[in-house]
Structure 1
């Protein structure tokens, strides 16, 4: 009889630390959606997540850092940055993902929170970090298009994304007009016509 090799040790992906982080971030987004950022507290988030407050403080330190991490995690998951190989379909897919995300309670809560100005320096800094992070990630769409020669080198990344996203955000937040099914494609065409200098 030949000696069999021992079976490899199977480790569970993530582990307790990952589960705790996910539970806390999920709880933070739920509290944000229900209560708004002004009433979000670490105590409320910890209670909902089923962990001690000290666990949350040890990992995040401040309420502002927790809110920022939760918003970034939620938007990263809800609004992925597409790479279809063409700028038009990238822009349309990104706009559609944004519209779908803003149609959810979590998405609306994030948008409302991030749209508000804050007298709290910590929160104001968190919002700025959030927007810059999202811009850096989504900016890959424009940067790739420039590299492929689909857009001119002088294209302003931030302006292009603002032109694409602002109508969707305005309709979602104000609710005065619906987001039609073909709006993402129409916005992508309008943005590209403007960036390419078409009449």
Structure 2
């Protein structure tokens, strides 16, 4: 989901308004990762982005508005899951990307901080739900393509297969605070792929 954060409806793409929007929203994500929700302020974002705080208040309304729009903006950036040609290995690749997003990716601190912010702010929680729903929707293409190849039956709930595959990874990372190893990634993917093939994700009457 992208957000229309321009002051008017006719701001030129690539113009100053667009540059300021990118600077402010990127600064919000950067400082979310560096400082956490409790220590973000409009003054901090203004200093980092070079956009006057009065403009930030007018367009985003404060910290919660900044977080909401920053997560929506992040969700709007180009991304699609890797394809390998088989559901199990597609889900392995997806789970690997999820795990790396919290462990080795440059944005790993932002990933953790966004989830922590969702426990502090309902606005951040709503924005995070929107972001995750978008990721599940985009990832569901892996399952739809697997159905077309005959790896799972017609009527399989593609997004639920994705949720089942990634859930054990999130559980280890965020609940148990345990390391995620390659064997964990493969096992979670295999269980979800096998369950999908067996019809476990068909819609119930």
Bin for the TM-score computed over the shorter chain = 0.7 to 0.9
Q: Please identify the structure whose Cα radius of gyration is greater.
A: 1
Please give the alpha-carbon distance, in whole angstroms, between the structure 2 residues aligned to 1:90 and 1:143. Answer: 12
Equivalent residue, structure 1, for 2:4:
none
TM-score for the superposition, normalised by structure 1: 0.73
Q: C-alpha root-mean-square deviation of aligned residues, in Å?
A: 3.2
The residue correspondences of 1:49-88 to structure 2 (distance < 5 A) are: 49-61=49-61, 63-74=63-74, 80-88=80-88
For residue 151 of structure 1, give the secondary structure of its aligned residue in structure 2. coil
Equivalent residue, structure 2, for 1:188:
189
Equivalent residue, structure 2, for 1:127:
128
Equivalent residue, structure 2, for 1:45:
45
**1:81-134, CA deviations, whole angstroms, 9 ceiling, x for partnerless residues?**
223443223212111111111114633443453366547443343233222222
Equivalent residue, structure 1, for 2:148:
147
1:78–1:101 CA contact under 8 A, matched in 2: no
Equivalent residue, structure 2, for 1:5:
none
Please give the alpha-carbon distance, in whole angstroms, between the structure 1 residues aligned to 2:188 and 2:157. Answer: 17
TM-score for the superposition, normalised by structure 2: 0.71
Please give the alpha-carbon distance, in whole angstroms, between the structure 1 residues aligned to 2:167 and 2:190. Answer: 15
Equivalent residue, structure 2, for 1:91:
91
2:34–2:109 CA contact under 8 A, matched in 1: no
Equivalent residue, structure 2, for 1:10:
none
Please give the alpha-carbon distance, in whole angstroms, between the structure 2 residues aligned to 1:191 and 1:139. Answer: 13
1:80–1:97 CA contact under 8 A, matched in 2: no
Tell which deviates more after alignment, 66-75 or 126-135. Answer: 66-75
Equivalent residue, structure 2, for 1:8:
none
Please give the alpha-carbon distance, in whole angstroms, between the structure 1 residues aligned to 2:133 and 2:87. Answer: 21
1:78–1:97 CA contact under 8 A, matched in 2: no
Tell which deviates more after alignment, 47-56 or 168-177. Answer: 168-177
**1:21-71, CA deviations, whole angstroms, 9 ceiling, x for partnerless residues?**
332222111211122223333332222122212343455455334313333
Aligned length: 186
2:37–2:113 CA contact under 8 A, matched in 1: no
2:33–2:112 CA contact under 8 A, matched in 1: no
Please give the alpha-carbon distance, in whole angstroms, between the structure 1 residues aligned to 2:79 and 2:97. Answer: 5
